[in-house]
Structure 1
Amino acid sequence: MAIHSQLILFSLLSTYLLCAFGLGAKDGKKFRVIKLTSLLPSPLCSTPKGSNHHENQKGMLKLDHHYGPCSPFGHHGKPNLRQILSQDQSRVNSLQTRLFKARVHHVEETKTTTLPAQMGVSVGTLNYIITIGLGTPKSELRVVFDTGSNLNWVQCQPCAVQCYPQQDPIFNPLNSSTYLNISCASPDCSQLSSATGFSPRCSSASTCVYTTTYGDGSVSLGYFARETLSLTPSDIFPNFAFGCGQANKGLFGRAAGLLGLGRNTLSLVSQTAKEYGKVFSYCLPSTSSSNGGYLKFGAGDVPSVKFTPMLTNPTDNSLYFLQMVGISVGAQQLNIAPSTFASPGTIIDSGTIITRLPMSAYIALRSTFRQFMSNYTMAPEFAPFDTCYDFSGKDTMTLPKVVLHFGGDVEVEVATSGIFAFVNPSQTCLAFAGNNDTSDVSIIGNHQQQTFQVIYDLTGEKVGFGAAGCS
């Protein structure tokens, strides 16, 4: 009888522990069990199953990580992790400055060709490249894209002042029958101010001259022009307005230039609106070694995508703001007031890597995550990460699910690859960070966007998230 009572007591205690720590039948709702090898970078390029159907679709462009094994650039100039995180912080700082005008750089306009002061967001973290065609006959150029930028530009011959080294041959306007400079008197020239923050200049031949600069000192300056843009063999856009760069320097790697996917009238999104309806999407793969990612223009069929309202901030109406309302860890909604995110707001950005949260929200996330991970050995911090673990000698790991909550009852369960950042075999860190100031905007970075189809519908003023978007 005593043994029977002990068995009953043990059973009750086991049930209590399973429920208390979320390890019972509903374990799958709170936790994921993953192989640690899934967090390790691979030296080989891979194609995920089911991703080939993206090829040759209308408006669909394949994307690769700038420094991954699938990149045509190889590992030339690849930054280390500390450099990447430093560049990421530089972009965050420049976004905060741009939004809240904490620091304003005044540029003296002169007739001489000079490299101007830093105005826009940093570009060192623009790590995804696509291939476009420019000119007639077309020249294929590999460029980076950025939802935080508006102007489209490529380096152009004769590079009258300077060009940085790029992988593809530098575009030569003299080889194209459809190239046309835009005059200073054209209304298109006057639109540059809102897209770049700089008033256009006028060359001695009355050609419109653009200037665009970035928060890390990168710059492009040259002629504002029109040319035929080819996104796919069937998606061709004559008279596309772009910058033909004659003075260029900065952290663009070996890319030929930049496509701006912001909300300004000169962005690629606006210039192709008649064809695509101001809708684009992308899916960033879970690792830099995967070539299953894409950038797509146009709506298409998106039955599994859930949309949250796209907001506009009058401080900078070209960025994409969302209504973030909360965070859950292990199916437990954190005690964070929605007003925490409401002011100064939350943006989603393709160029920022690590998600930045209000410090109070980050502390709540970190505290709860550490509780769920208390069985694992913590490792030293690796700035900006302060919650790191040593998984040496382990094959698998159990970690709590992390869900971001947005307006419209939209829940985005962050992929495993988006929860952790791999530093080294004995140091894997929670891949979120807190803002330094209460006036700083929250930023949903691309690390937490991995594997989702992220849809920007400017006409419908909404942003959508679809799970398993790369497959």
Structure 2
Amino acid sequence: MKNFLNVVILIFCVCLNWCYNTEGGAEEKEGVKVDSYTIQASSLFPSSSSCVLSSKASNTKSSLRVVHLHGPCSHLRSNKDARLDHDEILRGDQARVESIRFKLSKNNSNGSVSTTKSTELPGKLGSTFGSANYIVTIGIGTPKNDVSLIFDTGSDLTWTQCKPCLGTYRCYTQNEPIFDPSSSSSYQNVPCSSPMCENGPQSCSASNCLYRVKYGDNSFTEGFLAKERFTLTNSDVLDDVYFGCGENNHGLFFRTAGILGLGRDKLSIPSQTSSTYNNIFSYCLPSSASNTGHLTFGSDGISESVKFTQVSSFPSPSNYGIDIVGISVGDTKLDITPTSFSEKGAIIDSGTVVSRLPTRIYEELRTVFKEKMSSYKATSGYEIFDTCYDFTGVDTMTIPKIAFSFGGGTVVELDVNGMLYPLSMSQVCLAFAGDDDSPAIFGNVQQKTMEIVYDVAGGRVGFAPHGCS
């Protein structure tokens, strides 16, 4: 009997330990819960200035290669962009957050694009933009013209600049030739009678539907709503895709040709291609600007280890709302209650760089992080960052893990590249900021190296580690 009880106690302890580590999301090494990363300090920076290609995009039929706009993998970068312009990146990031804030304050629940049958284009103010970090290249037209587009989960309409460039501002400078619809045999303007052209029975420009998108940072695009052939890969060609053919465009789009909209509205690419890809797409953002990631449509190649959380309600139908129910730093859980994120809500966003948290929660995260990093030399802050370290002369360092708990019991541990923003070896900063005026935002630094899966039809977002390889 005594031996039997010992066996039962042993089984109970093993099960308890397994359940604890499964729910907490922490790794286990030789029976000990690991709540920190031990890394080489030099690993925070690219080993070279050359581009390192991921194999993931080339192994899946409907995958596009994702590159950082300002990194060595980007063909849009010129010699004068020899290093990342952190000032420009962070200014753009703040502009995007302000765009999201403005959009919500105006309660623009009808989406990010205005299509109209009137020659007067009212536009929908407050659509999100401001940060342009990751791009993909697709073909538009017949024969196809390759264009580089910013991919954006906060936008719906896909658009590109088109000839002839008309209006006060005409077209901004882009790297590739501007798309000429007159040279494409598959181009069609959308008539005013189309259900895609809304907002009343007024007259049109030569009976063709017009669109206008005005972003919160005062960038805009306007032109004709059209249909065209899109070539994702040589074996993946989509006909009759609705997009904006912009003849009057203005803004800081950094030589890209436009935007690929991955939001939830009917004009977004996932919605339009739902019969082909079942309204599912995924991406992985690379560990650094010297590496590539992927954007994949459909469920092929999605990791079996993906963990899903339901998309929550959010005032803007374009954005993907999430429920953040917990955050831990190392072995310390932050004081988060059911009402911590209730006032502004929370979203996951491909275009916001640095995650924003309510100020009280950010300050607690910062305090705990500082306590666990007390053996390292602190240094001055930079722009929105107020917690930075000087790792000059440091070989190996130990960083506390940060994990987010989402609704439904999904726990996601951030990669070490998803916690820190390395400006230089003498200034490496905690990659979070406090903001009480905007929703909490799970930004693209925090998403690095993970496979992020958007099952739009199922109303859920998933996470899996090691998604770029």
TM range (shorter): 0.7 to 0.9
Corresponding residue of 1:20: none
Corresponding residue of 1:47: 52
Corresponding residue of 2:160: 154
Match among 176, 194, 202 for residue 184 of structure 2: 176
Structure 1: which 5+ residue stretches go unaligned? Answer: 1-23, 194-198
SS in 1 for 2:95: helix
- Residues in 1 aligned to 2:352 and 2:71: alpha-carbon distance in whole angstroms: 17
Corresponding residue of 1:308: 309
SS in 2 for 1:132: strand
Match among 36, 42, 59 for residue 31 of structure 1: 36
- Residues in 2 aligned to 1:378 and 1:338: alpha-carbon distance in whole angstroms: 33
Contact 1:189 1:200 survives alignment (8 Å): no
Superposed CA deviations along residues 245-272 of structure 1, whole A, max 9, x for unmatched, are 1001112111111111000001111110
SS in 2 for 1:368: helix
Q: For residues 335-350 of structure 1, what are the structure 2 equivalents within 5 Å?
A: 335-350=335-350
Between 401-410 and 53-62, the greater mean CA deviation after superposition: 53-62
Superposed CA deviations along residues 157-180 of structure 1, whole A, max 9, x for unmatched, are 111231111111111111111111
Corresponding residue of 2:467: 469
Could you say if the C-alpha distance between residues 66 and 169 of structure 1 is closer, same or farther in structure 2, counting changes exceeding 3 Å?
A: same
Shift of 1:232: 1.6
Letter of the 1:367 counterpart: T
- Residues in 2 aligned to 1:94 and 1:308: alpha-carbon distance in whole angstroms: 26
Corresponding residue of 1:395: 395
Shift of 1:331: 2.5
Contact 2:384 2:433 survives alignment (8 Å): yes
Matched, 1:270 2:271: yes
- Residues in 2 aligned to 1:103 and 1:299: alpha-carbon distance in whole angstroms: 31
SS in 2 for 1:341: coil
Contact 2:171 2:249 survives alignment (8 Å): yes
Match among 62, 73, 77 for residue 74 of structure 1: 77
Superposed CA deviations along residues 413-461 of structure 1, whole A, max 9, x for unmatched, are 1111111111233111111011134xx3100000000000000001111
Corresponding residue of 1:208: 209
- Residues in 1 aligned to 2:371 and 2:358: alpha-carbon distance in whole angstroms: 20
Q: For residues 273-292 of structure 1, what are the structure 2 equivalents within 5 Å?
A: 273-291=274-292
Contact 2:70 2:289 survives alignment (8 Å): yes
Letter of the 1:72 counterpart: H
- Residues in 1 aligned to 2:191 and 2:407: alpha-carbon distance in whole angstroms: 45
Contact 1:201 1:209 survives alignment (8 Å): no
Corresponding residue of 1:96: 101
Contact 2:119 2:210 survives alignment (8 Å): no
- Residues in 2 aligned to 1:47 and 1:200: alpha-carbon distance in whole angstroms: 53
Contact 1:323 1:407 survives alignment (8 Å): yes
Q: For residues 1-150 of structure 1, what are the structure 2 equivalents within 5 Å?
A: 29-41=34-46, 44-47=49-52, 51-55=54-58, 57-75=60-78, 78=81, 80-101=85-106, 118-123=125-130, 125-150=131-156
Corresponding residue of 1:12: none
Q: For residues 194-343 of structure 1, what are the structure 2 equivalents within 5 Å?
A: 203-291=204-292, 293-300=293-300, 301-313=302-314, 315-343=315-343
Could you say if the C-alpha distance between residues 388 and 26 of structure 1 is closer, same or farther in structure 2, counting changes exceeding 3 Å?
A: farther
Could you say if the C-alpha distance between residues 25 and 58 of structure 1 is closer, same or farther in structure 2, counting changes exceeding 3 Å?
A: closer
Contact 1:118 1:214 survives alignment (8 Å): yes
Shift of 1:26: 6.9
Matched, 1:454 2:449: no
Contact 2:284 2:448 survives alignment (8 Å): yes
Superposed CA deviations along residues 197-256 of structure 1, whole A, max 9, x for unmatched, are xx8985441211110111112111101111111112222221111111100111211111
Letter of the 1:258 counterpart: I
Contact 1:200 1:210 survives alignment (8 Å): no
Shift of 1:28: 6.3
Shift of 1:142: 1.3
Shift of 1:395: 1.5
Letter of the 1:36 counterpart: A
Matched, 1:406 2:413: no
Could you say if the C-alpha distance between residues 247 and 277 of structure 1 is closer, same or farther in structure 2, counting changes exceeding 3 Å?
A: same
Q: Calculate the aligned-residue CA RMSD, in Å.
A: 2.6
- Residues in 2 aligned to 1:117 and 1:43: alpha-carbon distance in whole angstroms: 43
- Residues in 2 aligned to 1:45 and 1:27: alpha-carbon distance in whole angstroms: 39
Letter of the 1:122 counterpart: F
Could you say if the C-alpha distance between residues 282 and 103 of structure 1 is closer, same or farther in structure 2, counting changes exceeding 3 Å?
A: closer
Could you say if the C-alpha distance between residues 330 and 56 of structure 1 is closer, same or farther in structure 2, counting changes exceeding 3 Å?
A: closer
| Runs of 4+ off more than 4 Å | 24-28, 76-79, 109-118, 199-203
Contact 1:324 1:338 survives alignment (8 Å): no
Contact 1:221 1:246 survives alignment (8 Å): yes
Corresponding residue of 2:9: none
Letter of the 2:85 counterpart: N
Could you say if the C-alpha distance between residues 431 and 222 of structure 1 is closer, same or farther in structure 2, counting changes exceeding 3 Å?
A: same
What is the TM-score normalised by the length of structure 1? 0.86
Shift of 1:316: 1.4
Shift of 1:80: 2.3
Contact 2:222 2:248 survives alignment (8 Å): yes
Corresponding residue of 2:196: 188
Corresponding residue of 1:436: 436
Contact 1:323 1:342 survives alignment (8 Å): no
Shift of 1:412: 1.0
**Number of corresponding residues:** 432
Contact 2:352 2:443 survives alignment (8 Å): yes
SS in 2 for 1:405: strand
- Residues in 2 aligned to 1:399 and 1:201: alpha-carbon distance in whole angstroms: 61
Letter of the 1:29 counterpart: V
How many percent of aligned residue pairs carry the same amino acid? Answer: 44
Contact 2:117 2:197 survives alignment (8 Å): no
Shift of 1:25: 7.4
Corresponding residue of 2:8: none
Could you say if the C-alpha distance between residues 200 and 168 of structure 1 is closer, same or farther in structure 2, counting changes exceeding 3 Å?
A: farther
What is the TM-score normalised by the length of structure 2? 0.86
Letter of the 2:449 counterpart: T
Shift of 1:44: 2.1
- Residues in 1 aligned to 2:381 and 2:283: alpha-carbon distance in whole angstroms: 32
